[in-house]
């Protein structure tokens, strides 16, 4: 591959696509597709109880941390900020990171670079690169498919096999719930750790698996539990955190690495909390005690459908698994697909009811969506079933089908999807209530556990439960009466249990903070009804910059 003539002296700008995002515009922003994980895909029907937060663009942060060239990261710019950065600094390379839905923004950004910084080499990376024929849609010099750190290192003439330096990343920002923005104190939010990209399971619809090699392949940044432990220790001390959001598509699949990490955690007395993604078959490789000792406190698990044939689900009783995890204090986030091949208008309601019946703490619903680069996309294209009049901006799984389904119409796909979110909320209550349930179960089971690491972790959680979370329960039981009186009674019963466990603190906090939270919740409801949306702040971070001037 050719390298840049300036090598490591080249000045690099890495940018995510421009906002604002939560609005409809000609560049592919959509009001139903805000830059928010939970509110977009998980708790979107939960009104003021929806969990709202932003996540940085970790791909470009990782690349920046792993090249020695002077490099700026511009995250969530507006077009004006992007233009200003291009004109106030000279960049030899401009890298743009995007996913498929934002391809029109990439086109516009390439146009802007050509106009405002004609000498720059334009490199486009991230999932957008999977679009067939992208070369003809945008004016870029390089389109990078797959892993980007090694590509950028090669382009700069650096050692692509050098160890990966993990940046210290705060996992979420500007968290908001019930109309209150939570304080951003150091150590208060988990750190993101990215041990690998891709997943070897190779489910047919899975874009991350396909993008990093497909079935049987993935790119590991940290092979061993020892390497991971060292990275986590460094980030623990830099960010003062004891919890980690482990951004690995199937963290528990790699048992040897996870068990070595546990060994090191035990030796060093680390009472860490891990939020992980894992498939059912991977979770079942561990006993509940191993998961608890490893600090697993939140699992995002693909449930897809009670009748699906995905290998990761085979032979596993999901109702039983979900219940067991929650009984051990592990919060479960399920993910169900609407519109699989076997779905029909007749069985869809029943399938949604089964999914809701798993009673997970959180539940993501997504439309079955053939995305460029995946086996499913190729299959649908070969069968002539892709809808050609659907913009990439609308093929994100939270709106309507982008393919011809055998039995379900495009309009009905949206109706079923919206109903699934609503039904989960109505039948199971706000996710915040459900996670309080799981916290209490975990505390009761492990408060006297012989390992002090485990006790400390549950103690940290329960401090929240007996404090602000109990005040939130007080609000939810009142507010939810209008949605489902039965669930409101259950919330009341849970609050009573919390107050029995912590008679003084829990009652005091509920009585003092509850009314304030009720007021802010109602105020938020009004704001949302009048169309209030939220946008992430812009970040500009420079590395190796001084040495470049
Ligand atoms: C965090 C995240 C988000 C955050 C946004 C973060 C951000 N600042 O953009 C939130 C929660 C808001 C989000 C929203 C959405 N997301 Co999202 N998200 C993720 C998630 C979970 C992690 C991304 C990540 O950091 N990965 C780790 C990094 C290291 O990997 P990476 O980003 O791919 O980067 C590597 C390479 O791609 C490459 N690279 C990346 N950028 C660049 C740039 C250059 C110049 C180069 C050379 C290389 C390069 O190098 C990196 C290192 O190898 C991924 C799933 C996943 N596991 O990746 C989905 C994922 C990216 N999201 C996806 C989707 C569909 C969405 C939504 C449309 C979903 C929806 N309907 O709600 C919305 C879109 C919102 C919007 N308006 O843009 C899809 C993308 C599908 C596709 N093929 O385009 C993914 C892959 C999930 C999935 N499996 O379906 N998302
Ligand atoms: S197990 Fe999950 S991450 Fe892995 S390929 Fe299947 S859907 Fe993708």
Residue 332, C-beta contacts closer than 8 angstroms, at least 6 positions apart: 298, 299, 301, 322, 325, 326, 358, 360, 361, 362, 438
Q: What pLDDT, on a 0 to 100 scale, did the predictor assign at position 455?
A: 98
Nearest CA, atom 30, ligand 1: 59
**Tokens 């080249």 label which residue?**
10
The model's pTM is 0.96
Q: How confident is the model at residue 273 (pLDDT cuts 50, 70, 90)?
A: very high
Looking at every residue in the chain, the average pLDDT score rounds to: 96
pLDDT at residue number 250: 86
**Helix extents (H) in 285-370:** 288-293, 318-327, 345-357
Inform me whether the pLDDT recorded for 306 exceeds 80.
no
User: Over 90: is that where the pLDDT of 547 sits?
Assistant: no
pLDDT given at position 152 = 98
Average pLDDT over residues 514-523: 97
CA–CA separation, 124 and 147 (whole Å): 12
Query: In this model, does residue 544 exceed pLDDT 80?
Result: yes
Q: How far is the CA of 311 from the centre of ligand 1 (A)?
A: 24
**Per-residue pLDDT tens over the stretch 464-502:** 999 999 999 999 999 999 999 999 999 999 999 999 999
Binding site membership of 339 for ligand 1 (Cβ less than 6 Å)? no
pLDDT at 312: 62
User: What's the pLDDT band for 307 if we cut at 50, 70, 90?
Assistant: confident
Task: Report CA(505)–ligand 1 centroid distance (Å).
Answer: 41
Residue with tokens 């009783």: 317
- 203 vs 540, residue with greater confidence: 540
- 457: pLDDT strictly greater than 70: yes
Ligand lying nearest the CA atom of residue 211: 1
For 83-108, what is each residue's pLDDT tens digit? 999 999 999 999 999 999 999 999 99
Please report the pLDDT score of residue 305 as a whole number.
Answer: 74
* Closest ligand 1 atom number to CA of residue 100: 84
Ligand 2: lining residues by beta carbon, under 6 Å: 199, 201-203, 206, 208-209, 249-250, 279, 302, 312
Does 408 sit in the ligand 1 pocket, CB within 6 Å?
no
Ligand 1 midpoint to CA 408 (Å):
28
Question: What CA dihedral angle connects 75, 81, 85 and 86, to 10 degrees?
Answer: 110
- Residue 549 scores a pLDDT above 80: no
Predicted pLDDT of residue 185: 87
pLDDT of residue 546 exceeding 80, the answer is no
Show the CA angle centred on residue 345, arms to residues 339 and 346, nearest 5°.
120
Would you say the CB of residue 52 lies under 6 angstroms from ligand 1?
Answer: no
What percent of the chain is modeled with pLDDT above 70? 98
Could you tell me if the CB of 110 is within 6 A of ligand 1? no
Given this model, what pLDDT does residue 279 score? 87
């Amino acid at each position: 591959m050719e390298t840049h003539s300036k090598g490591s002296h080249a000045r690099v700008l890495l940018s995510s696509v421009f906002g604002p995002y939560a609005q409809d515009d000609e560049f592919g922003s959509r009001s139903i597709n805000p830059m928010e994980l939970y509110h977009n895909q998980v708790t979107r029907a939960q009104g003021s109880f929806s969990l709202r937060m932003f996540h940085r663009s970790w791909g470009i942060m990782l690349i920046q941390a792993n090249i020695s060239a002077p490099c700026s990261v511009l995250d969530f710019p507006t077009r004006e900020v992007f233009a200003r950065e291009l004109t106030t600094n000279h960049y030899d390379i401009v890298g743009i990171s995007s996913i498929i839905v934002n391809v029109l923004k990439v086109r516009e950004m390439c146009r802007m670079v050509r106009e405002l910084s004609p000498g720059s080499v334009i490199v486009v990376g991230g999932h957008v690169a999977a679009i067939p024929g992208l070369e003809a849609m945008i004016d870029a010099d390089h389109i990078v498919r797959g892993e980007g750190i090694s590509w950028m290192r090669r382009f700069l003439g650096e050692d692509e096999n050098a160890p990966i330096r993990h940046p210290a990343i705060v996992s979420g920002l500007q968290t908001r719930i019930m109309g209150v923005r939570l304080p951003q104190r150091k150590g208060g939010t988990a750190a993101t750790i990215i041990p690998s990209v891709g997943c070897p399971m190779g489910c047919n619809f899975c874009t991350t698996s396909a993008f990093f090699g497909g079935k049987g392949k993935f790119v590991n940044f940290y092979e061993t539990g020892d390497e991971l432990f060292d990275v986590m220790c460094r980030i623990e001390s830099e960010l003062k955190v004891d919890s980690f959001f482990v951004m690995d598509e199937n963290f528990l699949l790699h048992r040897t690495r996870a068990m070595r990490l546990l060994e090191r955690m035990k030796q060093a007395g680390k009472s860490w909390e891990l939020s992980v993604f894992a498939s059912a078959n991977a979770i079942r490789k561990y006993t509940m005690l191993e998961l608890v000792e490893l600090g697993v406190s939140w699992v995002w698990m693909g449930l897809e459908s009670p009748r699906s044939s995905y290998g990761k689900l085979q032979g596993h009783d999901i109702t039983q698994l979900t219940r067991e995890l929650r009984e051990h204090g592990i919060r479960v986030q399920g993910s169900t697909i609407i519109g699989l091949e076997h779905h029909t208008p007749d069985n869809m309601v029943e399938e949604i009811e089964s999914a809701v019946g798993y009673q997970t703490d959180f539940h993501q619903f997504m439309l079955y969506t053939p995305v460029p680069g995946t086996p499913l996309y190729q299959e649908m294209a070969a069968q002539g079933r892709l809808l050609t009049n659907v913009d990439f901006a609308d093929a994100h799984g939270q709106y309507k089908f982008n393919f011809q389904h055998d039995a379900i119409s495009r309009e009905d796909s949206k109706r079923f999807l919206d109903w699934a979110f609503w039904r989960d909320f109505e039948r199971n209550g706000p996710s915040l209530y459900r996670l309080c349930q799981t916290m209490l179960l975990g505390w009761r089971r492990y408060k006297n556990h012989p390992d002090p690491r485990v006790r400390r972790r549950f103690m940290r959680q329960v401090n929240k439960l007996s404090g602000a979370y109990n005040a939130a329960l007080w609000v939810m039981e009142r507010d939810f009466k209008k949605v489902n009186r039965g669930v409101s009674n259950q919330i009341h019963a849970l609050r009573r249990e919390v107050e029995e466990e912590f008679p003084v603190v829990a009652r005091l906090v509920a009585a003092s903070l509850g009314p304030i939270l009720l007021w802010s919740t109602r105020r938020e409801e009004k704001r949302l009804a009048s169309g209030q949306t939220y946008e992430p702040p812009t970040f500009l971070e420079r590395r190796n910059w001084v040495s470049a001037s």
